[in-house]
Amino acid sequence: MAKSDKILTPEYLDWHAKLTGLPSVLMDKIWFSLYKKYKKETGHKPWQLSKVHESEVINS
């Protein structure tokens, strides 16, 4: 991952701030939806390292 990929934009920070104020039931639905989309696109669980990233971490 390039260093520029790790920079949080002001738009993202505003979006995240709005999410943190939502009721927990709504947050659970949003997180579950994001989890399903991420797993479908990548084949990995969000907390699971991909093989490529795992080797980068080990070699660091």
Position 48 scores a pLDDT of 62
C-alpha torsion sign, points 16, 19, 20, 21: positive
Q: What is the pLDDT of residues 26-46, one digit of tens each?
A: 778 888 898 888 888 888 776
Which pLDDT band, with edges at 50, 70 and 90, does 47 fall under? low
Q: Domain extents for the chain? A: 10-55
**Spatial separation of the C-alpha atoms in residues 50 and 57, rounded to whole Å:** 11
**Spatial separation of the C-alpha atoms in residues 60 and 51, rounded to whole Å:** 14
Position 43 scores a pLDDT of 81
Position 28 scores a pLDDT of 84
Position 35 scores a pLDDT of 87
